[in-house]
Amino acid sequence: MPFEDLGEIAVWWGDSADPDGFHDPKQLLSTFFAASTVGLAICDDQLHYKAINKTLASMNGIPADAHLGRTVHEILGEAANEIEPLFRQVFSTGKPLCDVELALKLPTRTEMGHWIENYFPIKDAAGNVRQVGVVVVEVTQQKKLEEDTLRLSRSLQQERERLQALLEMGSVLISQTELRHLFPAISGLIRRIVKQDYASIALFDGTSRSMRMYALDVSDAARMDGAETIIPLDDTVTVGRAFQEREIKILEFKELEETRSRYIKQMLEEGFQSFCSIPLLTPRGALGTLNLASKKEHTFVDQDMGFLQQVAAQIATALDNARAYKEIAGLAVKLHQEGVSLQDEIRLASDFDEIVGESPALKQVLSQVHIVAPSDATVLILGETGTGKELIARAVHRLSPRKEASFIKLNCAAIPTGLLESELFGHEKGAFTGAISQKVGRLELADGGTLFLDEIGDIPLELQPKLLRVLQDHDFERLGGTRTIHVNVRLVAATNRDLAKRVAEREFRNDLYYRLHVFPILVPPLRERRTDIPLLVHYFVRRFSQRMRKQIENIPTDTMNALIQWEWPGNIRELENFIERCVILTTGETLNAPLAEVASLLHIEPPNTTLEGVEREHIVRVLREVGGVIAGLDGAAARLGMKRTTLQSKMQKLKISRREFEN
């Protein structure tokens, strides 16, 4: 019911109400006051209590009878200063005041109380406000509950923020290994919880008995530039004590002033008022301390210490891991340099377990290998693609005094020109975009051993002077570096190109050519070693049948004769691939070679087929496979094992147009 209606009822009660409805209005009002669960009172225009129920009297801490005739100020003391203006407003305006929230400290209470009060006018028969009624509901307990809930909510929010910061810190510590990038990120996360103005890491140096101080993050500081500072252990006060005693140390301005530490003096000159050091502890002992400073007093409070200890524990683990990572990285580089950890660079051998063949041409090559191997002379291995030049290079290494050291291979044609220099000479961190760490080049890895440069004819002109310098002086610098590195390397190079012609065309330096051409070895093509073909066929059949778990005992005579007659433009590599296919097709003990294909591939004339027709068909098939490309490493000429000009001449003779096969 609206409070305006209550006022009218009160007036009606005071003016001898209808005797048929209420025989004793005072008795009725008394009963209502006594039964109410809220505080009720009526005051006159002098603010004397005219009526009050026990509920409100209990709130005020004074018996109900003691209120009557006394003023609001006499009962409530200083708290009346908040209440009396409300009474005056209702008397002057004649309008009620509803839901007024008051926080008062009553004389009878030791704590602040909270109430919601409603004031309504009580008028006489003439319509004048003679009294004011007040309805009071105490909400002190509800307010306390709200405050406790709010306090708990804030506490939970702070805990969430701490946990979020710790999670983000863990992610940062994992993703960053560079301290100069790691420290500012850590400090920024700490500042979200603890409003520090300065953060640093102090690491103990056992050799000099000092702390190496690294400023993580310095806000608004001119002279503290973040550089490494070495401070004697005894001069660090909080830092030294926190490190030695393994406990958090907090100092305020007055305590800081009393110290004689030059480091602390500098901090005070920068305006810092409080300082906190947290030890960085690991299972292996203390590494140092995490240090925070603020330009406000009492910044570092107890409720933040748990969070800071967890932060320090994560940082200590990260630093310990970084130290171990650095040690492991150093060992890895050393192992690389010694040729111990070269799994990705060194293959167990070439595709052959040994050199197969007894032809005079092969024996001539092996004789040259025996002659040159004991020396340190540069060897240049020449020959068509697929003739086994890398195998000859390995034979030179195995027969040399360097056989116990590394054999490092680099294919100059297989690596993009922009990366070849880095692969050969190595690079320093930051030498170019993407150089996130130092890289040891093949030259360093081959130190004391042999470096095999395959396809040397494809090395770029701009890189050739640096290679020549290494061959002459055995000195070089990493890409992006300034330190001269000396190596003891024997160079073996190989190419299927005519280097003399490339020199004449100014595509290859003549001084490098002469330096490489100290001891050339020409590996003959397979067509000049026809007596070795049966040995190679049996060797490949045995190897592939073992790999595929097949038992192949017989090789048909017509198949062997066909293989011996074929020119093998792809040389041993082509023969190897063909035999592998035959083994795949074989289901019994006799080698199953596709004779119809062999007839066309091996220049054997089947019925109604000419030799010229077979050759034309083979060239057309290769051109179709390469999309009409003639030159280059993957061109038709390379696949057919002939010069570009020779292939073009044959195509003209056989009336083959390259355009028919272009993609």
pLDDT tens digit sequence for 489-518: 999 999 998 888 888 888 899 999 999 999
pLDDT tens digit sequence for 209-261: 888 877 765 555 434 444 567 777 776 667 778 888 888 888 888 777 777 67
Q: Which strand (E) or helix (H) includes residue 655? A: none
Q: Say what the pLDDT of residue 107 is.
A: 92
The answer to whether residue 326 scores a pLDDT higher than 90 is: no
pLDDT-based confidence at residue 7 (cuts at 50, 70, 90): very low
Most confidently modeled range among 267-276, 538-547, 613-622: 538-547
The more confident residue out of 173 and 54 is: 54
- Given CA atoms 173, 179, 182, 187 in this order, what sign does their dihedral have? positive
Q: Say what the pLDDT of residue 419 is.
A: 82
DSSP 1-70: --HHHHHHHHHHHHS---TTT-S-HHHHHHHHHHH-SSEEEEEETT-BEEEE-HHHHHHHTS-HHHHBTS
Cα-to-chain-centroid distance, residue 81: 65
Q: Say what the pLDDT of residue 60 is.
A: 92
* CATH 1.10.8.60, the chain: domain bounds: 527-661
- Mean pLDDT lowest among 111-120, 366-375, 591-600: 591-600
DSSP 96-145: -EEEEEEEE--TT-SS-EEEEEEEEEEE-TTS-EEEEEEEEEE-HHHHHH
3-class SS string, 59-93: HHCCCHHHHECCEHHHHHHHHHHHHHHHHHHHHHH
At 257, is the secondary structure helix, strand, or coil? Answer: helix
pLDDT tens digit sequence for 153-190: 777 776 676 667 666 666 666 665 555 556 666 666 67
Q: Say what the pLDDT of residue 180 is.
A: 57
* CATH 3.30.450.20, the chain: domain bounds: 3-138
Q: Say what the pLDDT of residue 449 is.
A: 92
Q: Say what the pLDDT of residue 167 is.
A: 67
The answer to whether residue 314 scores a pLDDT higher than 60 is: yes
* CATH 3.30.450.40, the chain: domain bounds: 156-325
The structure's pTM equals 0.43
At 604, is the secondary structure helix, strand, or coil? Answer: coil
Q: Say what the pLDDT of residue 173 is.
A: 63
User: In degrees, to the nearest 5, what angle opens at C-alpha 172 toward C-alphas 178 and 312?
Assistant: 90
| Tokens (6 digits) for 444 | 């360093």
- CATH code 1.10.150.530 for 527-661: no
Half-sphere exposure of 529 (CA within 13 A, CB side): 27
The more confident residue out of 351 and 630 is: 630
What is the rounded CA–CA span in Å between residue 133 and residue 279?
66
Superfamily of domain 3-138: PAS domain (3.30.450.20)
- How large is the average pLDDT for residues 112-119? 93
Partner residues linked to 120 by β-bridges: 133
Partner residues linked to 133 by β-bridges: 42, 120
3-class SS string, 359-391: CHHHHHHHHHHHHHCCCCCCEEEECCCCCCHHH
| Tokens (6 digits) for 223 | 């002279």
- Which phi and psi angles does 213 have, rounded to 5°? -95, 125
Q: Say what the pLDDT of residue 174 is.
A: 60
| Tokens (6 digits) for 233 | 């252990």
- pLDDT above 70 as % of the chain: 77
Q: Say what the pLDDT of residue 103 is.
A: 92
Q: Which CATH number fits domain 156-325: 3.30.450.40, 3.30.2010.10, 3.30.470.10, 2.30.30.100?
A: 3.30.450.40
| Tokens (6 digits) for 275 | 């300082």
Q: Which CATH architecture has domain 360-522?
A: 3-Layer(aba) Sandwich (3.40)
Q: What is the mean pLDDT of the chain?
A: 79
